[in-house]
Chain A
Amino acid sequence: MDLIISLTVNGLATGMLIFLLAAGLTLIFGLMSVLNFAHGGLFIWGAYTGVWSFQMTGSFVVGIITAIITGLLLGLVTERLIIRPVYGNHIQQILITLGFMLVLQEFIKVVFGPDQKAVFPPEILQGSFLVGDIVLIKYRLFIIAVGILIFIVSSFILKRTRIGLIVRAGVMDKEMVQSLGINIKLVFMLVFMVGAAMAALSGIMHAVYSGVIYAEMGLEFSILAFIVVVIGGMGSFSGSLFAAILVGLAQAFMAYYVPALSLAVNMLLMTVVLIFRPQGLFGKG
C-alpha cells in the first residue's frame, strides 16, 4: 500500500511538472495556432538561470523568481523575433521554432558550460514526512502544491476575469475580437510570455526534483509535454492537466514495474488516443 502511495505521489509530481510545460504549449497553440517547438528551450533556460541564482543567493524563492523573469523575457524575445514574422504559416512556424530550440540549447552550453550540474533542494524542502508507515518526500508534495496552485490561479484568471475572457474569445475567433477594438497582438504576446514563464518555472522545479541539469534535458522533457498535449487535446487547459497526470502516473508505475517500457507506455497511450480520438480526449471535434 505504501508503495502504491509513494508511486502515486511520484507520478503526480512528474505530472504537475509536465502540466506546467504543456499548459503554456496548449494555450499558445489554442490562441495563436502556433506550435512552439522551442518550448523545451525556455524550460531549460528557466532551469539553468533559476539554479544559478539559487546557488548564488542560497534562496530558492529568488531562484524561482529569476526563472520566471527569464521565462517572461525570453518569451518576449521569442515572440517578437521568431514567431511574429511567420504568423499564419504552419510549415514555417514548425521549422523555425525547432531551429530556435536548438539555438537556445546550445547557448546554454556557451553560458553555463557543457557539463551536467548537480542541484540540491533547499534545506526547508529536504527530507520527508512520515505518516504512519508512508514516507512522503517534502519536495514532491511541494511540486504538487505548486502545480495545483498554478492550475487554480490560471483557471480563475481564464474563467473569471476580463483578461481571461479576451483570451478565451481569442481562442474561439480572433478576427472578431480584434474587430471589437482589442489589440489581439498584445494579448498574443502576453499569453506567449506567460506560457514561457510557466515553462521556465517547470524548468527550475524539475531541476531540483531530478537533482541534475544538462542542456539536452529540454528537448527530452518537452517530448513528454507534446505527448500530453496530444492526449489532452490541443488548446484545452483542463485536458492538459488530466493528460499530464495520466502520463505522470503511467510513467511512475511503469518505471517501477516494467522499467524498459516507461517511455513506450506514453507513446502507446498517445497512439491509442490518436487512432480513436485524433482531436484528443478534451479537444473539440
Chain B
Amino acid sequence: MNIRSVEKSTWIFIIFSLLLFIVPFIVTGRSMQFIIIQIFIFAIFAMSYDILLGYTGIISFGHVMFFGIGAYSTAIIMNNMDATVLSFFVAILVAVIIASIVSFIVGALTLRLKSHFYAMLTLALAGLFLVAAEKWRSLTGGNDGFTFRLPEILRESHNLYMLCLIALILFFFGLRRFTKSPFGRVLMAIRENEARTESLGYKVLHYKVIASVVAGVVASIAGVLYALSLRFVNTGVFATDLTIDVLLMTIIGGVGTLVGPILGAGLVEFAHHWLSGLSNVHWIFERWIILYGTVYVLVVIFFPLGIVGTIQSKFTNRTVKGLRDNRKTVGK
C-alpha cells in the first residue's frame, strides 16, 4: 500500500484511536471506565444507524431490535453454556446470524415501501419483539431480566475497555471503507434521488436490503458488547427510548459522517450521566427525557446537519439532502 495515497483525515483518526488506547491507564476509576465503554458501544450502534439514516436515507424506528437480538443471544448463550471465551464467540456468531436473517426478511418485505410506512412498520416490529421478550419468560426472564456469568478474562474492566475500543476502531474503519466504496456511493445516490438511481439501472431495493443487513449486523454486535458490559439483560434492550437515544446521537453528531455518531454518543452518554447525577438536586432531572426530546426537536429544526455536518459544510459546501430544509415544495 502506498503510504502517500492515504488521506490526511485517516491519519488523524489513526492517531486519535491510538490515543484512546492510553486512556484506561490514565482514567483508572471503574465507573468512569464504564461510561467510556458505554460510549464506545453506543458509538458502534449509532454508526450502524448512520448507515441507514445518513447514507441511505432510510428512517427505521425499529433498529433497536437488532441491538436487542445481540444482547439477548449473548445473555442466553452465556447463561446456558459454560462461561468461556469459546461460548462468547458462539454468541457473536449466533447474534450475527439471527440479525442478518431478521434484517434480510424485514428489509426484503418492507423496504420497497415509502419512508412513512417503513418507519411505522419498523416501530411496530420492534414493539412485537418487545412483547415477545416480555411474554417468553422461560427464555428471557421477562421484564425482570437475568444476570449471567462471564469468562474470567472479560470480567476485567480493563480488558472489556480494550475489546470495545478495538471493535469500535474496526467498525469505524470498516464502515468508512464501506461508505467510500462504489457500493457506498450508490447508497448515497439513493439518498439523494431514488428515482434517478433506479433509472440509471441500479436495483435500488437490493442496495437498500444489503445496507439494512449491514446495519443490522453491526447493531447486533453493539448489543453483544452491551450485554457483556452489564452482565445483565432485560427487555429494556428492545425499548423505544433506546431508538430515540441512538437517533439523537446520530443527529446531534451529524448524519452521514460516521464520526458524528461517535461524537454524538459521547455527548449523549455524558449528558445522561451528568443529568441523572443531578436528580438529587431537583426532581425535574429525573425526567431528563424531556430535556432530551426538546434538544432533539430543536436540533432537527435548527441544526439538521449536526455538529460534524455543520463543520464539514462550512468547508466543502456539502449538504445532506434528506435533512436539508426544502420548504419550496409544500407537501407532496
Task: Decide if the interface of chain B is mainly helix, strand, loop or mixed.
Answer: helix
Known: A103-B290, A274-B113. A95 touches B251 (CB 8 A): yes
Say whether A127 faces chain B, with CB atoms less than 8 Å apart: no
Across the interface, A267 reaches (CB within 8 A) one of B53, B61, B128, B327, namely B128
Whether B59 and A91, one on each chain, are in contact in the complex, defined by CB atoms closer than 8 angstroms, is yes
Other contacts beyond A88-B331, A94-B119: 13, CB < 8 A:
A32-B331, A37-B119, A87-B331, A89-B323, A92-B304, A98-B247, A99-B300, A102-B241, A106-B290, A174-B330, A227-B120, A274-B113, A278-B117
Chain A residues whose CB sits within 8 angstroms of the CB of B328 once the complex forms: 88
Q: What mask results when residues 291 to 332 of chain B are scored 1 for a CB within 8 Å of chain A, else 0?
A: 011101100110010000000000000000011111111111
Q: A91-B59, A99-B296, A219-B240 are in contact. Are A226 and B113 (CB under 8 A)?
A: no
Binding site for A on B (CB under 8 A): 53, 57, 59, 61, 109-110, 112-113, 115-117, 119-121, 123-125, 127-128, 131, 135, 240-241, 244, 247, 251, 284, 287, 289-290, 292-294, 296-297, 300-301, 304, 322-332
- Chain A residues near B323: list those with CB within 8 A: 89, 91-92
Q: Say yes or no: B293 contacts A234, CB within 8 Å.
A: no
Given the known A-B contacts A95-B247, A110-B290, are A89 and B123 also in contact in the complex, defined by CB atoms under 8 Å? no
- Smallest distance from the beta carbon of A245 to chain B beta carbons, Å? 19
List A147-194 residues whose CB lies under 8 Å from chain B: 174-175
Closest B residue, CB atoms, query A260: B135
Of B57, B121, B293, B300, which contacts A92 at CB under 8 A? B300
Q: Are A220 and B127 in contact (CB under 8 A)?
A: yes
Q: Does A52 contact B (CB under 8 A)?
A: no
What are the residues of chain B within 8 A of A32 when measuring CB–CB?
A: 331
Across the A-B interface, the 5 shortest Cβ-Cβ residue pairs = A103-B293, A226-B120, A99-B296, A102-B293, A35-B116
Which of chain A's residues have a CB closer than 8 A to the CB of B331? 32-33, 87-88, 174
Please tell me if A44 contacts chain B, counting CB pairs below 8 Å: no
**B127-A223 in contact (CB<8A):** yes
What separation, in Å, do the CA atoms of A109 and B285 have in the docked complex? 12
Nearest Cβ distance between residue B273 and chain A, in whole angstroms? Answer: 19
Chain B nearest CB, measured from A105 CB (Å): 8
> B110 — which chain A residues lie within 8 A by C-beta?
274
Q: Given the known A-B contacts A32-B331, A174-B330, A264-B128, are A275 and B109 also in contact in the complex, defined by CB atoms under 8 Å?
A: yes
Contact at A267–B125, with CB atoms within 8 Å? yes
Q: Decide yes or no whether A136 CB sits under 8 A from chain B.
A: no
CB distance from B50 to the nearest CB of A (A): 14
Q: Which of A96, A109, A110, A223 contacts B123 (CB 8 A)?
A: A223
21 A-B pairs in the complex with CB atoms less than 8 angstroms apart: A33-B331, A33-B332, A85-B301, A88-B327, A91-B115, A92-B301, A92-B304, A94-B116, A94-B119, A95-B59, A96-B300, A98-B244, A109-B287, A110-B290, A175-B330, A219-B240, A223-B123, A226-B124, A234-B116, A263-B131, A274-B113
Cβ B117 vs Cβ A274 within 8 A: yes
Q: With CB as the reference atom, state the residue of chain A lying closest to B248.
A: A99
Contact across chains for B330 and A89 when beta carbons are under 8 A apart: no
Q: In the docked arrangement, what's the CA distance between A95 and B131, Å?
A: 24
B332 to chain A, nearest CB (A): 7
* B326 surroundings in chain A (CB, below 8 A): 88-89
Q: How many A residues, CB 8 Å from partner?
A: 45
Residues of A within 8 A of B289 (CB): 102-103, 106
In angstroms, how far is the closest chain B Cβ from the Cβ of A35?
4
A103 near B61: Cβ-Cβ < 8 Å: no
The verdict on A278 contacting B332 (CB below 8 Å), with A223-B123, A226-B120 known, is no
Q: Are A96 and B135 in contact (CB under 8 A)?
A: no
Complex-state Cα separation, A37 to B115, whole angstroms:
13
A90 touches B290 (CB 8 A): no
Contact of B332 among A88, A100, A219 (CB under 8 A): A88
When distances are taken between beta carbons in the complex, the residues of chain B under 8 Å from A100 are 293, 297
In the complex, A223 Cα to B131 Cα: how many Å?
Answer: 13
Which residues of A lie under 8 Å from residue B115 when comparing CB positions?
90-91, 94
8 Å CB interface, A6-35 against B: 29, 32-33, 35
Contacts of A86 in B (CB 8 A): 300-301, 325
Q: Is the Cβ of A270 less than 8 Å from the Cβ of B301?
A: no
Is residue A271 within 8 Å, beta carbon to beta carbon, of the partner chain? Answer: yes
CA distance A229 to B117 in the complex (A): 10
Asked whether A120 is an interface residue with its Cβ less than 8 Å from the other chain, the reply is: no
User: How far does the Cβ of A278 sit from chain B's closest Cβ, in whole Å?
Assistant: 6
Tell me if A230 counts as interface (CB < 8 A to partner B).
yes
Minimum distance in angstroms from B300 CB to a CB of chain A: 5
Instruction: Please determine whether A230 and B120 come into contact, CB atoms closer than 8 angstroms.
Output: yes
Is the CB–CB distance between B131 and A98 below 8 Å?
Answer: no
Assuming the contacts A85-B301, A95-B247, A226-B120, asked whether A271 and B290 have C-beta atoms less than 8 A apart, the reply is: no
Report the separation of the CA atoms of residues A91 and B127 in the bound assembly, to the nearest whole angstrom. Answer: 21
Q: How far is the CA of A278 from the CA of B113 in the complex (A)?
A: 7
> A90 — nearest CB in chain B belongs to which residue?
B115
- For the complex formed, measure the closest distance between the CB of A282 and the CB atoms of chain B, giving whole angstroms: 15
How far, in angstroms, from A220 to B123 measured CA to CA in the complex? 10
Residue of B nearest to A259 (CB): B135
Given contacts A89-B326, A91-B115, A91-B322, contact A274 B121 (CB under 8 A): yes
- For the complex, is A82 an interface residue (Cβ under 8 Å from B)? yes
The reply to whether A99 and B117 form a contact with Cβ atoms under 8 Å apart is: no
- A44 CB to closest chain B CB (Å) equals 14
Contact indicator A263/B128 (Cβ below 8 Å): yes
Q: Report B257 CB to chain A, min CB distance, Å.
A: 16
**Which of B119, B287, B292, B300: most chain A Cβ within 10 A?**
B300
* Cα separation A91 to B113 with both chains bound (whole Å): 14
